Chains A and B, each alone.
Chain A
Amino acid sequence: MAESATTTGHIASPALAVQPNKQSARQTTGSTIAFADEMIIRRNIVARLVQRDPSALEEMYDRMARRAFGLAYRILDDGPAAEDIVQDAFAWVWDNSQKLDSERGTVDGLLLTLVHRRAVDALRARSRRDALPDSSVSSNAGQDALDLVDEVQRNLDADAINRAMDQLSPEQSEVIDLAYFGGMTHAEICEKTSLPLGTVKSRLRLALNGLRNSFGLGGSS
């Protein structure tokens, strides 16, 4: 019950700029229980991963593989390559499972971050662009960010996250697509779009701060 109460508080948080649609609003009570159950299940998976229980990875696969594969496929547009990326990411989670924090809510955000990172590396290698160093997963801010991802996912489903993405202007969506799904640096986006460097930087900044606000992760800066 404590789980339900905690999650209800998050659901009702006024900080969330992306509001549930009317259908979701009518289902708030059921959704709250479902979210609480979901978090219990996710935590149970992490705890079993730490204990090196293969069935935990299998359960995680059943829940996450379609999203992970969809992400890798969108970046690479190549089924076999996307398979390798997803396999590599799940293998990383398993190989490092004893280092996971069993108090942490889930590893879903970590898995998708790994898939994104590896898929972008593969994409850049394929197009003979220099590899980019990883700056996001290992830092302290990266760890805190994964907690925030869990927090947001507790409150917003994929549809709500997509609605937040839809609130971006076409110009902002374009630069986010090129950077996140195309793995392009500032200079590469400039070359692709013929935009000045300052415009690319400001559009990325506005876009990401817009998403941050929509996800209820603090004010823009």
Chain B
Amino acid sequence: MNCEEIRDLLPAYVLGTATPHEIGVVEDHLARCGLHEEVAALTASAALIASGSKSVEPPAALKARIMAHTAGATAGVQRERGTPRRPWLRRLLAVNPIAAVLALALVAMAVWNVTLQGAESPEKFVHFYRGQDSDWLRVETVLGDPGAEVSLGGFDRLDDSQLYHLWTTRGDQVLLIGAFNVNPEGKWAGEFDFVFEEGDRIWMTSESASGTDQPTGEAVFKTRF
């Protein structure tokens, strides 16, 4: 194809609607031809179409969800340099699945503030809390390492203007673990890249879905590691 024929394909290429074949043809040509500036100008023109779109107010909960992601991802970056989570179980599953099942059974029995005595992860920790109203919280983590699997249940689902916020009190500091809403069954499960430490007190409040750095609502429950 010559440059003129390629120019016919460039609009679809920069609008992101070119087929794989058309992209291949355009990129083959661009590798040998000096249309780079033209492509950049057309790509910018296409991108600017978005700037003319009408603004629409998103739901308030969206901001809290995005900011909760930053809390997780910040620690996630650290995790790449840290100890991989549960490597002992993966290795055991690969070598001896029966032993792995037995190990899982041991873990299942060892809830209620039990520090597991595994050879490779002695600091593994499972915390279980059960309240008087059938509400419960389970946290599985390695103390001092980023990452915790959290599940809970027995809570009322909040309307869209609010989210549950999970906090930790550590000394005189109050740290936000994350925000979420429970499902219609009153349950939630997920993972936070939060670093728990021994002695942390965990508690939960309902807050505005727009998010907050400091708790304002009344604690739904409190429990100490």
Listed in ascending order, the chain A residues whose CB lies under 8 Å from chain B are 52, 54, 57-58, 61, 65-67, 69-71, 73-74, 79, 82-83, 86-87, 90-91, 94-95, 98, 109, 112-113, 115-117, 120, 132-136, 139-142, 144-146, 148-149, 152-153, 158, 161-162, 164-165, 176, 179-180, 183-187, 201-202, 204-205, 207-209, 211-212, 215, 217-218, 221
Beta-carbon contact of B53 and A117 below 8 Å: no
Counting CB contacts under 8 A, is B133 at the interface?
no
B169-219 interface (Cβ within 8 A of A): none
Given the known A-B contacts A117-B16, A149-B47, A149-B48, are A221 and B38 also in contact in the complex, defined by CB atoms under 8 Å?
yes
Counting CB contacts under 8 A, is B106 at the interface?
no
CA of A73 to CA of B50, assembled, Å: 12
Beta-carbon contact of A135 and B42 below 8 Å: no
CA of A215 to CA of B47, assembled, Å: 11
B1-53 interface (Cβ within 8 A of A): 7-20, 22-23, 26-27, 30, 36-53
Which A-chain residue is minimally distant from B9 (CB atoms)? A201
Beta-carbon contact of A71 and B71 below 8 Å: no
Which residues on B sit within 8 Å (CB–CB) of A74?
53-54
* A215 contact from B11, B44, B53, B70, Cβ within 8 A: B44
CA of A83 to CA of B69, assembled, Å: 14
B147-165 interface (Cβ within 8 A of A): none
Counting CB contacts under 8 A, is B62 at the interface?
yes
Beta-carbon contact of A135 and B8 below 8 Å: no
CA of A132 to CA of B22, assembled, Å: 11
Q: Which 8 A-B pairs have the closest CB atoms?
A: A145-B43, A148-B44, A66-B55, A204-B11, A69-B58, A144-B40, A70-B56, A112-B50
* A201 contact from B8, B46, B65, Cβ within 8 A: B8
Given the known A-B contacts A135-B13, A140-B36, are A83 and B59 also in contact in the complex, defined by CB atoms under 8 Å?
yes
CA of A207 to CA of B45, assembled, Å: 10
Which residues on A sit within 8 Å (CB–CB) of B18?
132, 135, 185
Which B-chain residue is minimally distant from A205 (CB atoms)? B11
* A179 contact from B11, B36, B43, Cβ within 8 A: B11
Task: Count chain A CB atoms within 10 A of each CB in B12, B15, B18, B36 and give the residue with the most.
Answer: B15
**Given A54-B67, A113-B50, 6 additional A-B pairs, CB 8 A:** A67-B51, A164-B52, A179-B12, A179-B17, A204-B12, A208-B10
Beta-carbon contact of A86 and B62 below 8 Å: yes
* A148 contact from B10, B17, B41, B71, Cβ within 8 A: B41
Counting CB contacts under 8 A, is B73 at the interface?
yes
Which residues on A sit within 8 Å (CB–CB) of B39?
139, 141, 145
CA of A187 to CA of B37, assembled, Å: 27
Given the known A-B contacts A86-B62, A136-B14, A202-B8, are A217 and B41 also in contact in the complex, defined by CB atoms under 8 Å?
yes
CA of A102 to CA of B140, assembled, Å: 38
Counting CB contacts under 8 A, is B66 at the interface?
yes
Beta-carbon contact of A116 and B50 below 8 Å: yes
Beta-carbon contact of B67 and A58 below 8 Å: yes
CA of A145 to CA of B74, assembled, Å: 29
Which residues on A sit within 8 Å (CB–CB) of B66?
57, 61, 86-87, 90-91, 94
Given the known A-B contacts A66-B57, A179-B15, A208-B45, are A71 and B50 also in contact in the complex, defined by CB atoms under 8 Å?
yes
Beta-carbon contact of A215 and B50 below 8 Å: no
Shortest CB–CB separation between residue A220 and chain B, in angstroms?
Answer: 10
Shortest CB–CB separation between residue B92 and chain A, in angstroms?
Answer: 31
